[in-house]
Structure 1
């Protein structure tokens, strides 16, 4: 049949079916070849389906959060169905445990309920998330978290529809002590409210785009490699077809049918692996990212693309591989062996990606068109770098001569067919090049995103804030903290409100009230900008932002303040007067250890005003210095948190950190780590499969070598060298390409190099992969060196 003759559809079908028959026939060898291809494609399909589920997974948790939120800014009238709500939280081992106290204002059976709650908990009862329940049942949880739940009886769990994810630590508790006019209590008539999200910065948008390309591109390369497993045996079968009368076009259609079977089986296997992993999603938590099975749902369009493109990729790669193969009835010959691999198109691909990145750099805005251009530029650059590997491997191994027997066996095998080894390592090269560039971008964005918190970690490690009934409670709190294990020292200051004597009765002028702060001189020097301090000193810090007509007068000697009065209520019958003695010096406020501005008002030492005299709504601020870092410090912080019940909204413990990252960057960082783990596991598995496929192709040669007395250790070392040479060249190429790509990306966002040694962990990972792949392939190598490998038909 001539090349221009149109092939009937029925003939296409018959020849594709013939190829499918070859894929599943031929005994154990045929099935092994098909299963290897199916397994490789299946791994890639499973990861692609997981990647296609990312948009749904990212929004599902936010949607559930919005469904349980409420509009705190709206004024709600009391009704039969309204509830009072107070938001409380604590931290445990750097994880946030958040809760809501609920109190019905009418019939509890008619009260509005948050998602995941079937019945309003009664006072003293609590519903907890499954993750929080499991945490409370652990030894660490019983010792360091359970005390905060004393007084609460856990009666059930919060349903999945009320949680952002399976690992969220959340609880709802019932109360009968909430007051609608309190500052931390809201009246709620319904749940379901969303706030507009803040857009990502240009640097974070670039990081997201590069991260997706770097994590997904190796998967596509792996699938393209997997569909070429068994290529040498396939070429021999196609030569046999030519011998019985098939033409070149027919052999290619038969090869397409054979590839389709592996791709279809791979689709089925990948779907099963995806569903299996999806069913276990609740129990998997990678770097704080946990999902419900229902969250992992690829969109219809993405799924359709995967179902169509994977078989099309299998057919396309097979046809491209056969372009350089001359299949005749007498055997198979590869074109261009003497001429070598073409270099021009590889350099052209790389150069195009570099030019696009260079042009995009100054004008990247993070918009839609720029995002696609950035993704395409990074993809072209990485593909260009990776496509150079076969050419580099071919040029290098052709010049390798001499050495030990294992070295010669490895180099001779690579000289005969370096393409298979290069393809097997292309995934590693692609992943490492992308990872190096991504790490450079990540380090720069991390440095730019990192901000100074203003906290003074040289002054304290932890600050504690608590509302107290009076100054004596504040002193008692500081004493309790000092006695805890893991605490080196604790000192602080007390604040409270007082009312000036001349304020009119029943019609208070709030300007005449003043905030009192009682602290020792070392603390006052820290809170105020003063030159000197002595016992009995009194200072006054005026808010410079107040208009002149609203500024209170500076206290003077003889002024009296009622320590029991409330600025918003009538004067108490039994006032507690405090008289200003001596000169009141004016001062400017500074900051405490937590970075918060010290309050404006009167400052005195305990000698001038005894702390226990402060009453009403006093507050204690305690600065704590912990023991050295480690378990002792972490346990000490948890003991401090256990000093108050979790439902006390006035008690908070803050660990001081001089640096902090934005929440968006933290989420991206966790996603990057989780994705990197999955991709590296996939690449490791692909290299094992590729090595096993190469060993299977060489089974007879291995048996012959053993029959002639070659040591098994020599053959094992040859497998190591056969993997190490292309991987070493690939890592070198990936390092150079990754550093160059990283510099272009940094130029695009206007960032500087934060880590020139970003490639070292990636190179170390690649070297570790060589050892692991060699070890994993040794059992198969020993089996293939048995004498029965010489048997033929």
Structure 2
């Protein structure tokens, strides 16, 4: 009978079932998305592993008919990474990269669909100047990790002459070479992952529980009518459960449709530089089955739980009388139990091994569920003490006093989301220092570094970069190593070639003019064995880049005699934060054989007022050497895994906020629909529309203010406990707390404003018409 009421009970029945299905469906869609995330991440990792080429193993594979020369030609365009490779097959059986159907010839390029679209757009003009090769095809999905990834392969020739195994050029005979890693998982990172998942999924569960109670007051009045025609109290509860079951099953259907639509949409969306192909988002069958069983079961249980304190009699529902005051004691047990589960792990930190995942998940869930248990009591207690005011205020307060539970349910999801977000922000801010380190780069001296491969004329490169718009100063260095033997040297030290102004940024020199040579002992490279002092003997023969691998341009192991007029210098902290020692030579004292074997490093001071100055530098560097590696300097570098978890939190929070907004809007519309006759009666009696609109705003503002206040308290408590668990000093990140609270309030405000047009349509006297 309950299922029949849901679908065949007239307009009221199916409208309520539809609203319930939409609310539940939004939650189910996000749950299905969550169950699909592990598979999506696994597929991304598999795709990345399948196309892995550089292993940095230090071994050089001998040339054969199944080898491929590959060069890293990646670049950056406006803070977006562009993965690039130059390919030169050395035989007919050379391995083909995943996603390619053939090798591009020199001057040809195969690009990802996203890069092709960018290059064809007006915004890609600067990148077109850098990637001038003719596009002859696109990279297939199997060769990309995301739909929005920017990537290209282009043909090359003569790579062997540039030097194999230099970190930029390598020879491979297959793709997907595994990289062994013994890195253990950090317990604090595992804790972050666990808390992120719980915090993101709890609001979804709360919204699903609230959605199955849409239209509760009208449902109870229908049940009273059933009592009048002979149904007993147990039958009415079973009928109510059947009605909720019908709405939740329809919600599963809607959720599946929403998920499939979102899955297709995901292929064209990039969030925080993360993109996926729709085929990645395949939910785990076991988890999808769990969702399909848990949601209807939860709908039935929530309905029966909601009816536990409602007396349904043949002549009405005893909810209209003064209800019994909510009890506080059992509501406090939930957060206290959560704290009790987390307490044993306080002070554990990293040294105590992994955190107990069951205690972590259970404790965080109980604390957040405590928000949903405490909020109805707080709202009831607060609105019961509110007194007189304007007409709009009195209408709002009286409505809240009559149905404080409904108001609390509307904002429960927001309260849980904000509480969890505050706790996570505190935890991230507290441990941030453990995963970020000072790079030591002097960002006042330079903001970019350009590395050029061996054989590039550094003076000409520096001149080209100086002529680039937005470049104020260029510090150019040629770098290499000198050893005391051609092969297997006993002592090796650094050698740096630069003009006097550039050398003074690396060392304290007595005097300097072109043609001088300096020995600078005490650098970081030879701090242990003091190699510079051992080999810096006038008249001694040293050799450049001893034991250089294949392809060092023929100038490797070039002899060099330490001059008799050798000067001494003292190392100082250089632009990159370290102390560089060894030999420092001005250009006038450099043998011709040195130039092709030294690699170039150029540090650039930029004028940030010039638009796209960094991309202008990258274009100039590409003209000098297509394999140059322009790099932006940062004073602080964040650990990759920590940054990935933070990105995952932002992506998940964006999805949850979208769900919160949509579900709140559906809930608000359902509440207004139930009050249609009441609103029409007030308008018929002469109440101004502005007054009614303001009263609706107050009805939303009061519960959300109380909910956000509770969220701050619970969030700070949970954040403090989590910080104590990680052994980190407790520090409240107030800007994050206020921003999270503001985001929650903004979502509610936007939803309320969107519900005003339907409210104005409902405020018409003809709403009193009935049959």
Do both share a fold (TM > 0.5)? Answer: yes
Distance (Å, rounded) in 1 between the aligned partners of 2:148 and 2:363: 37
**For each residue in 1:274-333, what CA deviation from the matched residue of structure 2 results, as whole angstroms up to 9, or x when unmatched?**
001101221011111101111111101110110001000111111111111111111111
Alignment of 1:720-759 (within 5 A): 720-752=697-729, 753=731, 755-759=733-737
What's 1:309 paired with? 294
Cα pair 2:21 2:254 within 8 Å, conserved = yes
What's 1:320 paired with? 305
Distance (Å, rounded) in 2 between the aligned partners of 1:321 and 1:166: 45
Identify which of 586, 589, 597 aligns with 1:609.
589
Cα distance, 1:559–1:250 mapped onto 2, change above 3 Å: closer
2:348 is the alignment partner of 1:363: yes
What's 1:766 paired with? 744
Cα pair 2:187 2:354 within 8 Å, conserved = no
What's 1:776 paired with? 754
Cα deviation, residue 193, structure 1: 3.0
TM-score, with structure 1 as normaliser? 0.89
Cα pair 1:499 1:563 within 8 Å, conserved = yes
Cα deviation, residue 716, structure 1: 0.2
**For each residue in 1:58-83, what CA deviation from the matched residue of structure 2 results, as whole angstroms up to 9, or x when unmatched?**
11111111112246646645443332
Cα deviation, residue 33, structure 1: 1.0
What's 1:13 paired with? none
2:433 is paired with a residue whose SS is: helix
2:194 is the alignment partner of 1:209: yes
Identify which of 9, 27, 43 aligns with 1:44.
27
Cα pair 2:453 2:625 within 8 Å, conserved = no
Distance (Å, rounded) in 1 between the aligned partners of 2:252 and 2:397: 36
Cα pair 2:187 2:355 within 8 Å, conserved = no
Identify which of 141, 161, 183 aligns with 2:165.
183
Cα distance, 1:663–1:179 mapped onto 2, change above 3 Å: same
Cα distance, 1:634–1:464 mapped onto 2, change above 3 Å: closer
Cα distance, 1:642–1:571 mapped onto 2, change above 3 Å: closer
Cα deviation, residue 612, structure 1: 7.8
1:660 is paired with a residue whose SS is: strand
2:131 is the alignment partner of 1:161: no
Cα deviation, residue 605, structure 1: 3.5
Alignment of 1:528-567 (within 5 A): 528=507, 530=508, 532-535=510-513, 537-542=516-521, 544=526, 553-556=535-538
Cα distance, 1:548–1:442 mapped onto 2, change above 3 Å: closer
Cα deviation, residue 265, structure 1: 0.8
- Higher mean alpha-carbon deviation, 753-762 vs 741-750, is at 753-762
Cα pair 1:218 1:430 within 8 Å, conserved = yes
Cα deviation, residue 20, structure 1: 1.0
Identify which of 647, 666, 676 aligns with 1:689.
666
Cα distance, 1:338–1:565 mapped onto 2, change above 3 Å: closer
Identify which of 78, 87, 99 aligns with 1:93.
78
Cα distance, 1:725–1:582 mapped onto 2, change above 3 Å: same
What's 1:68 paired with? 51
Cα distance, 1:75–1:218 mapped onto 2, change above 3 Å: same
2:8 is the alignment partner of 1:30: no
Distance (Å, rounded) in 2 between the aligned partners of 1:124 and 1:464: 24
2:369 is the alignment partner of 1:383: yes
Distance (Å, rounded) in 2 between the aligned partners of 1:76 and 1:195: 16
Identify which of 463, 470, 488 aligns with 2:449.
463
Distance (Å, rounded) in 2 between the aligned partners of 1:105 and 1:683: 57
Cα pair 1:24 1:31 within 8 Å, conserved = yes
Distance (Å, rounded) in 1 between the aligned partners of 2:147 and 2:408: 42
2:211 is the alignment partner of 1:229: no
**For each residue in 1:734-784, what CA deviation from the matched residue of structure 2 results, as whole angstroms up to 9, or x when unmatched?**
111111111111101112326134221122123223321221111111121
2:172 is the alignment partner of 1:195: no
**What runs of 5+ residues in structure 1 fail to find an aligned partner?**
1-17
- Higher mean alpha-carbon deviation, 43-52 vs 508-517, is at 508-517
**For each residue in 1:137-178, what CA deviation from the matched residue of structure 2 results, as whole angstroms up to 9, or x when unmatched?**
232322x2223323x322111111111112222222223313
Q: Number of aligned residue pairs: give it.
A: 755
Distance (Å, rounded) in 1 between the aligned partners of 2:403 and 2:544: 91
Cα distance, 1:131–1:645 mapped onto 2, change above 3 Å: farther
Cα distance, 1:773–1:288 mapped onto 2, change above 3 Å: same
1:621 is paired with a residue whose SS is: strand
Alignment of 1:10-159 (within 5 A): 18-70=1-53, 73=57, 76=61, 78-107=63-92, 110-142=93-125, 144-150=126-132, 152-159=133-140
Cα pair 2:470 2:610 within 8 Å, conserved = no
What's 2:472 paired with? 488
Cα distance, 1:519–1:332 mapped onto 2, change above 3 Å: same
2:347 is paired with a residue whose SS is: helix
Cα pair 1:436 1:762 within 8 Å, conserved = yes
Cα-Cα RMSD: 3.0
Distance (Å, rounded) in 1 between the aligned partners of 2:677 and 2:659: 29
Cα distance, 1:791–1:513 mapped onto 2, change above 3 Å: closer
Cα distance, 1:594–1:637 mapped onto 2, change above 3 Å: farther
**For each residue in 1:337-367, what CA deviation from the matched residue of structure 2 results, as whole angstroms up to 9, or x when unmatched?**
5531121111001111112222222336697
What's 2:686 paired with? 709
2:504 is paired with a residue whose SS is: helix
Identify which of 706, 718, 723 aligns with 2:695.
718
Cα distance, 1:464–1:196 mapped onto 2, change above 3 Å: same
Cα pair 2:458 2:476 within 8 Å, conserved = no
2:73 is paired with a residue whose SS is: strand
Distance (Å, rounded) in 1 between the aligned partners of 2:395 and 2:710: 24
Cα distance, 1:462–1:215 mapped onto 2, change above 3 Å: same
Cα distance, 1:527–1:700 mapped onto 2, change above 3 Å: same
- Higher mean alpha-carbon deviation, 543-552 vs 90-99, is at 543-552
Cα pair 2:24 2:248 within 8 Å, conserved = yes
Cα distance, 1:323–1:579 mapped onto 2, change above 3 Å: closer
1:334 is paired with a residue whose SS is: coil
- Higher mean alpha-carbon deviation, 717-726 vs 683-692, is at 683-692
Cα distance, 1:172–1:583 mapped onto 2, change above 3 Å: closer
Cα deviation, residue 732, structure 1: 0.7
2:453 is the alignment partner of 1:476: no
Distance (Å, rounded) in 2 between the aligned partners of 1:195 and 1:576: 37
Distance (Å, rounded) in 2 between the aligned partners of 1:563 and 1:429: 66
Alignment of 1:646-661 (within 5 A): 646=626, 648=627, 651-661=628-638
Distance (Å, rounded) in 2 between the aligned partners of 1:571 and 1:27: 89
2:32 is paired with a residue whose SS is: helix
Cα distance, 1:553–1:776 mapped onto 2, change above 3 Å: closer
- Higher mean alpha-carbon deviation, 296-305 vs 614-623, is at 614-623
Cα deviation, residue 394, structure 1: 0.4
**What runs of 5+ residues in structure 2 fail to find an aligned partner?**
none
